[in-house]
């Protein structure tokens, strides 16, 4: 089933502008766009959006969330269980605040005595903050404890919408060069020139893309269906061809 952007905005309670921003920075790109330019979201997209909102509750930045969700080792079930623990803690806190409100009303009406500690029962968020910090540290260690991750966050945290537009446009042009020469094979000079441009593009805009990292990306493009689906939007079979071209590049790099 597919959903238009306005339907998703109304269903989730976020603005259309927010969804446009998520698309632009790559954290939530719709599976397809109609010829009329309408974004169409799938059930998988909605599941990803749910995770985005859960992680925002834990005070992760959008760039950190993108890195986590794009990691092939991301465990959605584990994440949901941890999110549930946090929500339970928040529920306990709200129950205490409600109880404090009721006691205060009774106190005002002269029904009961009330200590100063009871007046502020429920406002202590130390347990919730401790829970957030614990999970934030655990998640960052599991999904982002690498120099490349840290370098990427440092660079991208300063990017404007115009920067993202430029970066995405350049990436699209590189892919267009590869698509135009797919029929010539992965070892074609134009294909390999474009692949080299892709590696430099990553280095210039995100992190030092070593041969090892570049080879890892090549594997990711075909082993993670999310990457495959996103890349194949430009042309069916591009992800596989791009992956093989990148491996060929790595094997022949000097």
> Which CATH number characterizes residue 215's domain?
1.10.490.50
Whether 18 is in a domain gets the answer: yes
Residue 148: predicted pLDDT: 65
Residue 178: predicted pLDDT: 95
CA torsion 39→43→45→48, rounded to 10°? Answer: 160
Q: Give the residue numbers spanning the domain of 66.
A: 3-70
Global model pTM greater than 0.75: no
Residue 179: predicted pLDDT: 95
Query: For residue 127, what pLDDT band results from cuts at 50, 70 and 90?
Result: low
Residue 195 has pLDDT above 50, yes or no: yes
Angstrom distance (rounded) from CA 49 to CA 8:
10
Residue 128: predicted pLDDT: 47
pLDDT in tens, 151-169: 776 777 788 878 888 888 8
Angstrom distance (rounded) from CA 51 to CA 65:
9
Do residues 64 and 109 share a domain? Answer: no
Residue 187: predicted pLDDT: 93
Residue 207: predicted pLDDT: 83
* Lowest-confidence segment of 29-43, 126-140, 191-205 by average pLDDT: 126-140
Q: In this prediction, what percent of the chain has a pLDDT beyond 90?
A: 28
Q: Please tell me the total count of domains within the chain.
A: 3
3-state secondary structure at position 113: coil
Whether 153 is in a domain gets the answer: no
Residue 32: predicted pLDDT: 85
Angstrom distance (rounded) from CA 28 to CA 55:
14
Residue 65 has pLDDT above 70, yes or no: yes
Residue the block writes with tokens 């890195």: 67
Structure tokens at 221: 């493009």
Last residue of a domain, one of 14, 43, 70: 70
Last residue of a domain, one of 38, 70, 102: 70
pLDDT in tens, 16-52: 999 999 998 889 999 888 888 888 999 999 999 998 9
Residue 176: predicted pLDDT: 93
Average pLDDT, the chain: 81
What does each C-alpha distance from 252 to 111, 187, 249 come to in angstroms? 83, 10, 5
User: Which residues are CB-contacts of 164 (< 8 A; sequence separation ≥ 6)?
Assistant: 24, 25, 26
* Lowest-confidence segment of 108-122, 157-171, 198-212 by average pLDDT: 108-122
Count the Cβ atoms, other than its own, within 10 Å of residue 31.
15
Residue 186: predicted pLDDT: 95
Whether 23 is in a domain gets the answer: yes
User: Which residues are CB-contacts of 212 (< 8 A; sequence separation ≥ 6)?
Assistant: none
Cα first-last separation, the chain: 48
Residue 71 has pLDDT above 50, yes or no: yes
- Check: CB of residue 1 under 8 Å from CB of residue 202: no
Whether 246 is in a domain gets the answer: yes
> Given its phi and psi angles, is residue 176 left (phi above 0), alpha (psi -120 to 50 degrees) or beta?
alpha
Residues 231-242 have a mean pLDDT of 90
Beta strand 3-4 pairing with 32-33: unpaired
Angstrom distance (rounded) from CA 133 to CA 204:
32
């Amino acid at each position: 089933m597919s959903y238009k952007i306005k339907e998703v905005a109304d269903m989730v309670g976020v603005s259309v502008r927010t969804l446009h921003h998520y698309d632009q920075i790559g954290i939530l790109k719709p599976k397809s766009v109609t010829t009329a330019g309408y974004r169409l979201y799938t059930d998988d997209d909605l599941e990803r959006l749910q995770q985005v909102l859960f992680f925002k509750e834990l005070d992760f930045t959008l760039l950190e969330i993108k890195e986590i969700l794009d990691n092939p080792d991301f465990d959605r079930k584990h994440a949901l269980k941890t999110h549930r623990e946090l929500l339970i803690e928040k529920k306990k806190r709200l129950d205490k605040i409600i109880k404090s409100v009721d006691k205060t009303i009774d106190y005002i009406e002269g029904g009961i005595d009330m200590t100063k500690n009871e007046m502020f029962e429920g406002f202590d968020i130390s347990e919730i903050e401790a829970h957030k910090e614990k999970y934030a540290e655990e998640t960052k260690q599991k999904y982002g404890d690498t120099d490349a991750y840290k370098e990427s966050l440092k660079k991208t945290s300063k990017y404007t919408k115009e920067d993202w537009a430029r970066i995405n446009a350049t990436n699209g042009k590189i892919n267009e060069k590869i698509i135009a020469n797919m029929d010539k094979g992965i070892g074609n000079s134009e294909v390999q020139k474009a692949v080299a441009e892709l590696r430099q593009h990553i280095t210039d805009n995100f992190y030092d893309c070593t041969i090892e990292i570049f080879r890892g990306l090549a594997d990711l493009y075909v082993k993670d269906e999310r990457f495959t689906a996103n890349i194949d939007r430009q042309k069916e079979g591009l992800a596989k061809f791009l992956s093989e071209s990148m491996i060929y590049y790595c094997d022949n790099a000097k």
